[in-house]
Amino acid sequence: MKHFRLKKGLTALLLAGAAFNAAPVAAQNSDTLVIARSMDVNSLDPARAFCDTCQFYLTAVYETLVTLDADNKTLKPNLAESWDVNENFTEFTFHLKDATFADGSPVEASDVVWTFERLKNLKASPSFLMDGLTSAEAVDAKTVKFTVDAPNSEFLNKVSAPYTGIINAEVAEANGAIAGDTAAEADKSEPWFLANSAGSGPFMLASYSPEAELRLARNDSYWGTEPAFSEVVVTQIQDAVSQAQALETGQVDIAMQIDPDTAQSIRSGDVTTEVVPSYNFLYIGFIPGAKDMADVLTPEVRQALALAIDYDGMLDFTVGGNGAKQAAPIPNGFPGTAGLTPRAQDIEKAKQMLADAGQSDLKLVAGYPNDNVYGVDFNIMMQKVQQDFAAVGVELELKPLTWAVWRDELGAGEWPVTAIYYAPDYYGSGQYVAYFGMIDGFPWTNRASLGKGELVVNPAEADLYAKALASSGAASEEAYTEIGQAMMDDAIILPLVSPNLVLAYRNDIEGVRYSACCNLPLAEISRK
């Protein structure tokens, strides 16, 4: 036993050093683009994938009908060269370009119909994009028409989400993919999609080894402009510091997850870092449906707690000031957010409201995933919340949990406060209402009420949402502003910080940008 004591004693220090395990990949001057990232891939099948890594992988390999321009607002043609929308936003007709899949076969309306039906019928994570789709028909080989059950001015934006990338139906079907009603049970193609791709994009999947490497090869018969790199390698590097080191030493060309604090400590003159606003945000959520909380977490108490938080301090402590405050659970810059003012701290009012509600010595428990997302350490963020709550006499006990335990306990209503994050799937505010709105049956309504809908449902929001979807432009934005205000008054979701994003790359790389739909458009990147 004893001979190992000293060595074991040092492991405590080495634990921290274990972070340095960058994969040895040579990058500079080659025809290969190497990207450092901690990959969160859940699947590489467009209809099943749902992750930040998936967003840029799918964008490079599969193509959507429309896509988001570099201004992150305007939709531009992709596989569809033009589209028509009927007056009440229920029928959408797309006219396809003469594009081809990687195997040379043409992209036809039947592929689009097949892809959308499969996305809907698989009932997987991104299937919500097809909610309300009642029919998809191929008018002719190059024209496809979709009908939705209720006005949806956001449908066009939805089909810019990378998960709606068009799949080569013949190839996928030959490998077990099914688009029909039985898809959810009968489709057995997921393993095939982990090793192969069937898209029309500028890249093809070369290989994927989980927790190690995602390798893309150029699609040599690409119908559009040929991408600059013949190969793209995404190499798994877990944390920001290791990614920064790999970037400084030239092992990688781009590091995707460097936080602003780490970016400041990069001293190499060969590296460019740009700090840009992101559309990601972290928030705390209240769960009045949790055990014994129905009479405690009333709207007044929630509003009081929302006033207790020091939002400016939160920005400083979580991201060193490299971020933005956010009013409602709709990211800054999305439709309708211009008219919303972020909350400000008001300790006296918060205390008064708590006293009026008879909750002067409130004790709450917060369960949250013990993770570091978008450069924000949940533990740091929640300790700040804990301190702010303490200032108004509310004791908050923190329970950092593994993701699996967090999910279980969330569903069981073990604790009334949680913290989590959200990133957009496309440009449009409707997705936020569809997720955070206190509308019967919506995800966060279920989460917060745990079956006791009367605790949280806000009937006004359903009407406003319908109004927003039935209009476009200014009218739609106005409705989203009203919903945003209503969600702020609900005080179920409190956005704490929208962290800035660091684009960090070697000086010889150009074309790196952040896209609201697609994360990092690989095909636009080149070496000087």
Contacts with other proteins, residue ranges (CB under 8 A): 1-2, 5-6, 8-13, 15-16, 19, 239-241, 261-262, 265, 316-317, 320, 370, 372, 377, 379-380, 382-384, 386-387, 397-402, 405
- Cα R_g (the chain), whole angstroms: 24
| Cα separation values, 528 from 168, 252, 508, 525, Å | 34, 15, 5, 10
**Residue nearer to other proteins on the CB measure, 206 or 275:** 275
CB of 252 to other proteins, least distance (A): 18
- 8 Å CB contact between 483 and 464: yes
Outline where DSSP puts E strands in 314-466: 323-324, 363-369, 372-373, 376-377, 395-401, 417-422
User: Would you say 241 or 470 has its CB closer to other proteins?
Assistant: 241
Closer residue to other proteins, CB minimum distance, 12 or 474: 12
CB nearer to other proteins: pick between 280 and 318? 318
Least Å distance, CB 4 to other proteins, is 10
The two beta strands, 32-37 and 213-218, are unpaired
Written as six digits, the tokens of 117 are 């039906």
**Nearest distance, CB of residue 390 and other proteins, angstroms:** 9
**Helix axis angle, 347-356 relative to 299-308, nearest 10°?**
160
Angle CA 214–216–217, to nearest 5: 155
Nearest to 67 by CA among 525, 516, 522: 516
Query: How far apart are alpha carbons 325 and 312 in whole angstroms?
Result: 8
**Of residues 175 and 372, the one with the C-beta less far from other proteins:** 372
Minimum CB distance to other proteins smaller for 230 or for 372? 372
> Between 19 and 194, whose beta carbon lies closer to other proteins?
19
Comparing CA positions, the residue from 473, 127, 479, 500 lying closest to residue 328 is 479
The torsion region of residue 28 among left (phi > 0), alpha (psi -120 to 50) and beta comes to beta
The tokens describing 390, both together, are 């303490």
Rounded alpha-carbon distances, angstroms, from residue 255 to 35, 150, 234, 272: 6, 42, 10, 11
Shortest distance, CB of residue 264 to other proteins, whole angstroms?
8
Residue 236 Cβ, how far from other proteins at the closest point, in Å? 17
Distance in Å, CB of 383 to other proteins, minimum = 5
**Quick check: 495 and 328 in contact, CB under 8 A?**
yes
Least distance from other proteins to the Cβ atom of residue 22, Å:
13
Task: Pick the closer one to other proteins by CB: 183 or 376.
Answer: 376
Closest CB 265 distance from other proteins, rounded Å: 4
